[in-house]
């Protein structure tokens, strides 16, 4: 076997192998950013752990589990990802590394043993490192197309574990193959073929299952967002009907209270009635104050949102000129501005300040663009992801986190763009939509 000519794992050259493996891992997860700059120290820690596992060299199963665990912990601590995505990426990475070793040894170097043997142990070891990692890198580059989707992060633990189950028979057969490598070469060759077939099948199966699950998750997400759009529009219609009835009753009540004031003028026995009339007038005053935006839909929607802010002790600062938004249909307007203000409300309600937190909404036309900017305070950590911003409700990722995606969906329908920024405890969301000519 060509592997008996490799240098012992305690030789310094294997540090280069560990370093190269970590470099391949970094390339594989390049799309997942660090949680903060200080997390780069975890890179060195991961390299040390990986090299110690190589030196100890227990058996295939133990090494496999330890490596997956090390990569998983690294991704969870240092990178902006959740447990499900970290588990899938770690399992696939270690499998690709092992399959790369099998292809390198049994399909390239062993058949060409006559060429490699005279080169010496150092050269053979370096060739083993280069060829195996090059093969692994190709596998990972192809697989990463399906495993870097933001929808992967919304898969359940059960779905992730199910996708990784084929690793168990692969590792067991791999262990049996290595145990018989020096006993019967014919058995080893047959087991190698079986192992390689299972390894490649496992990679394809894992990617296919993960891709299928994420496709289904994206479909479910689309259905939820469509339901959310309809819900926002239904709320607007209900609010519109209620406001029409209330405002009609308001005018009648206003005249009624005026008559009460006239009748009870100068009559000391009607103090209680006068006090009641005053209280009713004060309660009706908010109904008279209506936001005027130049767009009937936003007049009703933002008036209701403003009243909600006041009830929650949040100061609404709305500067809205929406006369130019007539080309956006009612359903999309409700979804767009309903989600913008609801997201800001939710974030601001978690902020504990001596003064009431403010939500500032600015809508205006700048040249041939509609520019909407909403600013609100926030607390906690905001996670960037492929789709923009991941939900902060980590305990229920399946049912939350659709607000920003709904905003992006509506904006893209009108060739618009959504950008956000978070600095010094203030979150700013900007929606830019080109106006039709």
**Can you give the three-state secondary structure of 404-421, one letter per residue?**
HHHHHHHHHHCCCEEEEE
Mean pLDDT of the chain: 78
User: Across residues 184-209, what is the average pLDDT?
Assistant: 73
pLDDT at 357 (0 to 100):
87
Lowest average pLDDT, out of 18-32, 34-48, 284-298, goes to: 284-298
The residue ranking higher by pLDDT, 382 or 192, is 192
| Residue whose token pair is 């997201």 | 343
pLDDT at 228 (0 to 100):
65
Lowest average pLDDT, out of 10-14, 30-34, 216-220, 323-327, goes to: 216-220
Highest mean pLDDT among 39-48, 255-264, 350-359: 39-48
pLDDT reading at 268 higher than 60? no
pLDDT at 295 (0 to 100):
86
pLDDT reading at 393 higher than 80? no
432 — pLDDT class (breaks 50, 70, 90): very high
| Three-class SS of 221-245 | HHHHHHHHHHHHHHHHHHHHHHHHH
- State percent of the chain over pLDDT 70: 70
User: Across residues 348-365, what is the average pLDDT?
Assistant: 83
User: Across residues 262-267, what is the average pLDDT?
Assistant: 60
What structural domains and CATH numbers belong to the chain?
Answer: 2-221 (no CATH), 292-437 (3.30.565.10)
Query: Parallel, antiparallel, or unpaired: how do β-strands 369-377 and 383-385 relate?
Result: unpaired
pLDDT digits (tens, 9 = 90+) for 47-102: 999 989 888 876 788 888 899 999 999 999 998 888 888 888 898 899 889 888 88
pLDDT at 84 (0 to 100):
82
- Residue 147's H or E segment, with its range, is helix 121-147
Angle (nearest 5°) at CA 294 between 288 and 296:
65
pLDDT reading at 145 higher than 60? yes
Give CA–CA dist 299/308, Å, rounded.
14
Give CA–CA dist 290/249, Å, rounded.
16
Lowest average pLDDT, out of 91-105, 204-218, 264-278, goes to: 264-278
- State percent of the chain over pLDDT 90: 18
> Looking at residue 107, what DSSP letter applies?
I
The residue ranking higher by pLDDT, 374 or 306, is 374
220 — pLDDT class (breaks 50, 70, 90): low
């Amino acid at each position: 076997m060509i592997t008996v000519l490799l240098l012992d794992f305690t030789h310094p050259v294997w540090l280069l192998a560990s370093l190269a493996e970590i470099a391949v891992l970094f390339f594989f997860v390049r799309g997942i950013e660090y949680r903060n700059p200080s997390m780069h120290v975890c890179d060195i820690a991961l390299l040390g752990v990986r090299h110690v596992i190589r030196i100890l060299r227990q058996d295939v199963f133990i090494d496999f589990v330890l490596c997956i665990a090390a990569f998983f912990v690294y991704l969870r601590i240092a990178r902006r990802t959740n447990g499900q995505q970290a588990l899938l990426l770690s399992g696939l990475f270690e499998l690709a590394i092992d399959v790369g070793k099998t292809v390198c040894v049994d399909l390239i170097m062993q058949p060409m043993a006559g060429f490699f043997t005279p080169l010496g142990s150092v050269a053979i070891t370096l060739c083993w490192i280069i060829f195996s990692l090059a093969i692994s890198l190709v596998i990972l580059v192809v697989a990463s197309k399906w495993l870097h989707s933001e929808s992967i992060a919304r898969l359940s633990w059960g779905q992730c574990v199910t996708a990784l189950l084929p690793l168990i028979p692969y590792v067991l057969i791999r262990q049996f193959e290595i145990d018989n490598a020096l006993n019967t070469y014919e058995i080893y060759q047959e087991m190698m073929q079986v192992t390689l077939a299972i390894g490649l099948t496992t990679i394809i199966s894992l990617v296919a299952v993960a891709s299928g699950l994420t496709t289904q998750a994206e479909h479910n997400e689309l259905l939820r967002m469509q339901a959310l759009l309809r819900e926002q529009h239904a709320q607007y219609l209900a609010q519109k009907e209620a406001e029409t009835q209330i405002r009609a009753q308001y005018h009648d009540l206003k005249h009624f209270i005026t008559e009460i004031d006239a009748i009870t003028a100068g009559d000391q026995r009607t103090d209680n009635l006068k006090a009641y009339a005053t209280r009713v007038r004060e309660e009706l005053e908010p109904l008279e104050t209506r936001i005027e935006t130049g767009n009937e839909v936003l007049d009703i929607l933002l008036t209701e949102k403003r009243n909600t802010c006041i009830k929650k002790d949040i100061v609404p600062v709305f500067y809205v000129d929406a006369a130019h938004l007539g080309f956006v249909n009612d359903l999309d307007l409700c979804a767009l501005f309903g989600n913008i203000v609801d997201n800001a409300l939710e974030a601001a309600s978690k902020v504990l300040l001596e003064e009431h937190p403010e939500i500032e909404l600015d809508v205006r036309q700048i040249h041939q663009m509609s520019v909407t900017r909403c600013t609100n305070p926030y607390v906690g950590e905001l996670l960037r992801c492929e789709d923009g911003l991941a939900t902060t409700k980590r305990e229920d990722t399946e049912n939350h986190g659709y607000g920003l995606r709904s905003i992006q969906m509506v904006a893209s329908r009108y060739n618009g763009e959504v950008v956000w920024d978070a600095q010094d405890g203030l979150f700013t969301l900007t929606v830019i939509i080109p106006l039709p000519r």
